[in-house]
Chain A
Amino acid sequence: MPARFLRAPIAPTVSDDGLYPFVPSISLDTLWFQVAGTICNLKCTHCFISCSPSNHSHEMLTLGEVRRRLAEAIPLGVREYYFTGGEPFGNPEMLPILEETLRQGPATVLTNGMFLSPDRCRSLKRIFDASEYSLDVRVSIDGYTAEVNDAIRGAGTFEKILGGISNLAGAGLNPVVTVTEACEEAGSPAGRARFLDWMRSIGLERPRLKVLSLFRIGAEEGRLRAYESWESLRGRHLTEDESEKLQCSSCRMVTSRGVYVCPILIDEPRARMGESLAETLRPFRLEYGACFTCHEFGVTCRT
């Protein structure tokens, strides 16, 4: 295995009790914003943070709060910005937030596609065109029939998501369609190929697909099952290469409650690493079942 790193090696460490490995903080490349908090117009049965119209665990971020974090990100050399929720387009300031972010760097927004009217998509395209940086819109769906999708995302959502995708394409934006690996077996090569064919059939000429793993936390814990005790990194040691592949070695998540290690663990109090970005750039103990999923399946929430 060639050593691809040109910088000095950063040794992964083991926690004081020797039970769980720590992931080092190598850089801050990806800054996530829980821009809609945990507030969502949908209540998907596999949501790992159980978002819903009434879940206020994390509140929406204002343009002012995002602006302050963008300023903080400059000296840290952040490369890219991601926005998620909840439903980001439920945040009334989402378009100005994207506009301001795209003056500083590339942005990706993760959406359920329900609020993507033709007008909004045209505004997004204008924002995209005005920036020298890339903007990606990632739309989640859970199947290529209403029957399969709506069982997870709610009645009538399939048609609305298709409408949103079509509006984006109509405005000249090529969305990234996001599915979980459980969806239509998209995790397998054959399932993936079928999904890409389906995307072409709904008019996406250059289909872009992101397949995500399921995390057995939040609502998903009740839908299928929770993590079992063996699904853990207890007793493991990470190589430098493994550390580098974990997104938590190069990302942080800003919510209304502070800065968390990653987008997945915002319901875990110990995953809140501080208030300022700079103070959170330190090793993190990988003690959660979700850490096992990321490590075992090479998951990254980035596109």
Chain B
Amino acid sequence: MPDVTRLAFFGGVYSNSLALEAALTHAKRSSADGLYALGDFGGFGPHPDRVFPILLDAGVESIQGNYEESLSSGAEDCHCGYTDPRDNHFAQISYDYTARKTSSEWKRWMRTLPKTRRLEVAGRKVLLVHGSPRKINEFLWESTSPVSFLEKMLADSDADVLVCTHTGLPWTRLLPSGRRVVNAGVLGRPANDGRTNVWYARLTFGRDVSVEFVPVEYDHEELARRMREERLPGEFIETVSTGWWTTCLEILPAKERERGRY
């Protein structure tokens, strides 16, 4: 059995501390050698401050997402990168709630996080970003990130493996050059597939790099209860309970939109 390194990558947590705990339990049980969170710890869910101690206690290495960038600089919106008024309406509700409920201590901590991170694993250069190597809030969707676009992006950023999040949907693409892109998905909300679980990505680095998307079951009913208690929008709670997205839909490309209910 050759030496391998197993790393776990967590996309946006969106204040879903219950899913984060479940994912960490799973990652530790499957002997991950490193734990990485790719930003957007808040937004969408309740009680944002509950996430940070869990990340620190578990030794998760974190980078900023657009949420941390906005919250730590006092910005008035999340800079999620939406262009449609309905998407922006719900994004603003989510951001205003999170900004109000995140303590200044944690906002200061966010500012200390890097925006990207580079690892050298089994002779491969791994680049961690929230959106893309060039922009913290760029959406890398599977159906609109073609091979030649990704090849150039990874060559320009001197990376063999790129790990990102931001879109909410997990996918991976092995490029003809042997480079690889992994969108780790998110822990914050389901992947618009009618299932209530969320996802993280486990990469195994050996002679090859293999990618596994790990489904994480957690107490989504408890999350929904807490969201109701905090008077978060019914639309958000429906997503948690059904696995179908009800907001931030207009940004979805045609392929990804077709797979959802709304």
Contact = CB atoms under 8 A, between A and B. Distances in A.
Partners in one complex: yes
Interface of A: 1-2, 4-7, 27, 29, 73-80, 104-106, 128, 132-136, 173-174, 189, 192, 206, 208
A2 B70 contact: yes
Q: How large is the interface on B (under 10, 10 to 19, 20 to 34, 35 or more residues)?
A: 35 or more
A75 B253 contact: no
Contacts of B136: 4, 6
B145 interface: yes
B66 A206 contact: no
22 contacts: A2-B69, A2-B73, A2-B75, A4-B66, A4-B137, A6-B136, A7-B133, A7-B134, A77-B153, A79-B145, A79-B146, A79-B149, A104-B146, A104-B148, A128-B254, A132-B255, A133-B144, A134-B144, A134-B254, A136-B253, A174-B254, A174-B258
A183 B257 CA distance: 27
A-B complex: 8 closest residue pairs judged by Cβ atoms = A77-B152, A105-B146, A134-B253, A134-B254, A134-B143, A74-B148, A79-B149, A2-B69
Nearest to B130: A6
Interface in B118-166: 129, 132-137, 141-149, 151-153, 156
Contacts of A189: 85
A205 to B, nearest CB: 9
A24 to B, nearest CB: 14
B115 interface: yes
Interface in B237-262: 249-250, 253-258, 262
- Most chain B CB atoms below 10 A, which of A6, A104, A173: A6
Contacts of B250: 208
A299 B225 CA distance: 41
B143 A133 contact: yes
Contact of A76 (B75, B152, B256, B262): B152
A173 to B, nearest CB: 8
Contacts of A174: 254, 257-258
Contacts of A106: 143-144, 146, 253
A6 B151 CA distance: 18
B107 interface: no
Interface in B12-30: none
A106 B150 CA distance: 13
Contacts of A75: 148, 152
Contacts of B253: 106, 134, 136
Nearest to B256: A134
A128 B143 CA distance: 11
B20 to A, nearest CB: 24
Contacts of A76: 152
Given A74-B148, A134-B144, A4 B79 contact: yes
Given A6-B135, A174-B257, A73 B148 contact: yes
Nearest to A128: B254
Contacts of B66: 4
